[in-house]
Chains A and B, each alone.
Chain A
Amino acid sequence: DVKVTQSSRYLVKRTGEKVFLECVQDMDHENMFWYRQDPGLGLRLIYFSYDVKMKEKGDIPEGYSVSREKKERFSLILESASTNQTSMYLCASSPTSQETQYFGPGTRLLVL
């Protein structure tokens, strides 16, 4: 079974802190994705990556950056956390196009 793990299930941070969310997949997938999920808004894509050291902006990249130094690991960085970044963050991976994305369990981030 494909496994996508996220470093934390719950995280509480203060405004202005730098926040790192880590995601690891164990199936040698090419593609990795970061979404945020808010009530009534569904899943919104923040950033994605088709290969190591490659990244593409999604629909809501402002306030976020990403890093993919190794194929299995995709990190989401909040340079200076703000209260409007309080959300559920989901990581996903997929082998290629026209294939499903496999999701991690999510990290619920609260920024105070």
Chain B
Amino acid sequence: GENVEQHPSTLSVQEGDSAVIKCTYSDSASNYFPWYKQELGKGPQLIIDIRSNVGEKKDQRIAVTLNKTAKHFSLHITETQPEDSAVYFCAEERGSTLGRLYFGRGTQLTVWP
């Protein structure tokens, strides 16, 4: 299956700045959109998710927005810190393949002190 498009592939920001990663999907029946953070040597870990009946969700410095009309969703990290440096993956669950996730190719975020 075709994967989610994720941009940018690399992102460098200064500590305290904001970072935004965007993903675009194609299936209008997609209903679940998680974001994962993968630190070096570890498996990906969920940081935030959103379902198709919600437009925005926030958890402290992290927020996700969903635009169903344009079929894209974005991760926003505010007041970035060096420990936010990691690879971030977006994913979608499609209506036709419940339980299975389709992943973006990842964004390497580097936060400079």
Contact = CB atoms under 8 A, between A and B. Distances in A.
Interface string A32-70: 010000001111010010100000001100000000000
A13 to B, nearest CB: 21
A42 B107 CA distance: 9
A36 to B, nearest CB: 12
Interface residues of A, number: 27
Contacts of B25: none
Contact of A42 (B3, B45, B100): B3
Given A59-B1, A98-B93, A43 B42 contact: no
Contacts of B6: 42
Interface-central residue, A31, A33, A99, by most chain B CB under 10 Å: A99
A42 B104 contact: yes
Nearest to A9: B41
B89 A98 contact: no
A4 B105 CA distance: 23
Interface residues on B, range: 20 to 34
Contacts of A96: 99
B37 to A, nearest CB: 11
A101 B106 contact: no
Contacts of B32: 97-99
A88 B28 CA distance: 32
Interface-central residue, B32, B44, B45, B46, by most chain A CB under 10 Å: B44
A109 interface: no
B41 to A, nearest CB: 8
Contact of B99 (A31, A102, A104): A31
